[in-house]
Structure 1
Amino acid sequence: MRPKLVPLSETMHLILLALREPLHGYRIMQLVSEMSKGEVNIAAGTLYGALENLKKHGYIELLSEPSDRKKIYQTTKLGKEILANENKRLKEIVTLYEKGVEGDESL
């Protein structure tokens, strides 16, 4: 049975990749923008909805709420497993592009 939220959207991939180290929301938004070279910019409301969804499914965890009220999140073991599986899945798709589809040289 396929885990929930899989296959991951580009935004979910980037959030999980960013959270391989503990980060707070604003830094997640910055890092996602940096990793995507400015192509993906997440609004605060969208980010916090995604974080809650990822947390609900056990892909990330809330580490702490420091005194300055910034919530710190990090990818869980399950989240890292999901990323590893998605990495493998996407590499397989890229291999298909690299080989081309039989009889279609335009790919």
Structure 2
Amino acid sequence: MSKRSPGLSEQTYFVLAALLDGPLHGHAIIKKVVDLSEGRITLPVGTLYGALDRLAANGIITIEREEIFNGRKRRYFRITDEGDGMVRAEARRMQQAASVILRPRSLGASFA
């Protein structure tokens, strides 16, 4: 996954960001993504688990532990060092890109 073109999808970015504070189970990830994205991103369960499976297969996250809760298996996912570096690099990339637009402009400057 780290060999792809620069930038993570917004969904993947927020899934990884949700895991920065520690391991979470799927439902908690969905809720944290909604909170972190201020409601812009809602992940259907199938979409989330497909993304989690891909991220785990690529070593970006790992399963921390499993437990039974209300008769169902609950898996807790943890971001790996590679995933942590990836999401932080993406944050820096987006910050630099945003600074191009958000920095103060001098009056009269043109590129003509």
Q: TM-score, normalised by structure 1?
A: 0.85
Q: Which portions of structure 1, spanning 4 or more consecutive aligned residues, are displaced by more than 6 angstroms? A: none
What is aligned with 1:92?
96
Q: Compute the displacement of 1:6 (Å).
A: 4.3
Q: Compute the displacement of 1:5 (Å).
A: 7.0
* Unmatched segments (≥5 aa) in structure 1: none
What is aligned with 1:29?
30
What is aligned with 2:110?
103
What is aligned with 1:11?
11
The CA distance in 1 between the partners of 2:94 and 2:83, in whole Å, is 16
Change over 3 Å in CA distance of 1:75–1:23 after alignment to 2: same
Given the alignment of the two structures, is residue 51 of structure 1 paired with residue 52 of structure 2, yes or no? Answer: yes
Change over 3 Å in CA distance of 1:29–1:73 after alignment to 2: same
Same amino acid, percent of matched pairs: 28
Pick the aligned partner of 1:78 from 82, 87, 90: 82
The CA distance in 2 between the partners of 1:37 and 1:79, in whole Å, is 22
Report if aligned partners of 1:13, 1:83 keep a CA contact under 8 Å in 2.
yes
Q: TM-score, normalised by structure 2?
A: 0.82
Change over 3 Å in CA distance of 1:78–1:92 after alignment to 2: same
2:13 is aligned with what amino acid? H
Once superposed, what is the RMSD of the aligned Cα atoms?
Answer: 1.9
CA deviations on 1:47-78 (whole Å, 9 max, x unpaired) are 00010111111110011111331000011000
Report if aligned partners of 1:62, 1:74 keep a CA contact under 8 Å in 2.
yes
Higher-Rg member (1/2)? 2
The CA distance in 2 between the partners of 1:5 and 1:58, in whole Å, is 17
